[in-house]
Amino acid sequence: MLDLIRRLRAGHLDAATRLLLGQLVMFTGIAAVFPVAPLYVRSHGGGPVAVALFIAGPMVANTLAQIPAGHLVDRLGRKPVLIGSRIVFAALSFALFANLGPLWLLALFRCGQGFTGGAYVPALRAALADLTEPGGRAQRYAQLQAIEMVGLLVGPFIGGAIALWTYSAIFLCSGLGTLLGVTALFRMAETRSAGHDEEGPALPGWWRSRVVLVPSLALLAAGVVFAMYDTVWPQYLQARNVGPFLIGVSISVFAIPVLALAGKAGRLADRSNRRLLVGGSFLLVAACATTYPFLRSYPVILAVGVVEACGFTVVEPTLFAVISESTPVEVRGRAMGLGGFFQFGGSAFGAGVLGSLYGVSARLPFFGATAACIFAALMSLLWLPLRRLRREATELSAINVLDMEVQV
């Protein structure tokens, strides 16, 4: 995040920086919906089941869209999918703001937003990989992670304030933020390398290779753990007599290491032994997860959360960097879609299955997260590539030249 601030001050806005800043604006608007969505459903007479479906539907749609969208990204190019998906998302936001029709129709609009969001993610990650040399991709994905963390911190605050007017206004905010952010993409050159008008002559079974499947399965575990916390964390702290304000503080404290260390973690992942880095990070998260059920002191819980956040900061950027460097450019969109499919699929499982286990026993979700982290750690320590693979990046210079021509 600090790297992006320095670039802004210096006026050095290359294509990748503009992509990230556009994502910051868009994701902040999207995150404004998160805390108010249940209230929006209840205002239409929906009960707990309707609330759950309204929130889970976009998550499932997002997961299912990842792989088909990856094919489109490789066939049509990054830019058409980036712009098209966000324009449709904004249109659906305005439809939800209009607040017309029965609840089931509004829920379908939300699922549509999930599909368009699922289409945007592999296009964004593929474009960032196109615009970044292999030796800097973990750092780039760490910047993306920090950007999204800022959106998660700022967006819900904005959404809560806007909801004082009317609940449906959160979708107006989301739609306007998306349109504002997508303006950064119109002047961007297409980043897919020339000569790949079709999906490309990828080797059969490329997705079954160890260097693709191992990071994808590790992303599944990361998604499981992170979404479990989304569901369980407020209940966990409430059981320890912690009020809503301090619950919010705990989430903000968790975000501090991610924002402060993202750049350093990305550079470390680009230069160090990735097996030890990712495997050790998963073991660190596992140790923290298994500790929580036995903690009662709020300050101690915060301290453990800070340690755990340091581990989370490393995992996702490194794994997506491995996938981007382990696949040919012809299938880069599909590779990003595959990684996203595993990650968001894990999120759906973590929120739905592990989250529901809290009602059976408060310890089960944390122990389930521990098991997922240990599984991912063992895979990473045994089979993850030691360090970045050496691949040609000659297409990068051509993309930068095209981008300069577009701006002129």
Asked whether the predicted pLDDT for residue 403 surpasses 80, the reply is: no
Asked whether the predicted pLDDT for residue 89 surpasses 90, the reply is: yes
pLDDT at residue 251, rounded to an integer: 82
Q: How far is CA 27 from CA 39, 115, 135, 156, 179, in A?
A: 20, 15, 27, 11, 11
> For 357-379, how does the pLDDT look when each residue is reduced to its tens digit (9 = 90+)?
888 899 999 999 999 999 999 99
Of residues 244 and 236, which shows the higher confidence score? Answer: 236
Ordered by where they begin, the domains of the chain are 11-194 (1.20.1250.20), 207-389 (1.20.1250.20)
Which band of pLDDT confidence, cut at 50, 70 and 90, is reported for residue 405?
A: very low
**Tokens in use for 182?**
């997508």
Asked if residue 235 lies in contact with residue 354, where contact means CB atoms within 8 angstroms, the answer is no
Asked if residue 277 lies in contact with residue 318, where contact means CB atoms within 8 angstroms, the answer is yes
Asked whether the predicted pLDDT for residue 116 surpasses 50, the reply is: yes
290, HSE (Cβ side, Cα atoms, 13 Å): 11
Asked whether the predicted pLDDT for residue 105 surpasses 80, the reply is: yes
The residue-averaged pLDDT of 267-283 equals 94
Asked whether the predicted pLDDT for residue 54 surpasses 80, the reply is: yes
Which band of pLDDT confidence, cut at 50, 70 and 90, is reported for residue 1?
A: low
> For 167-178, how does the pLDDT look when each residue is reduced to its tens digit (9 = 90+)?
999 999 999 999
pLDDT at residue 398, rounded to an integer: 41
Environment class of 376 (CB within 10 Å of its CB; exposed 0-12, middle 13-18, buried 19+): buried
Which band of pLDDT confidence, cut at 50, 70 and 90, is reported for residue 6?
A: low
Q: What pTM was estimated for this model as a whole?
A: 0.88
Distance CA 367, CA 371 (A): 6
Asked whether the predicted pLDDT for residue 402 surpasses 70, the reply is: no
pLDDT mean across residues, the chain: 87
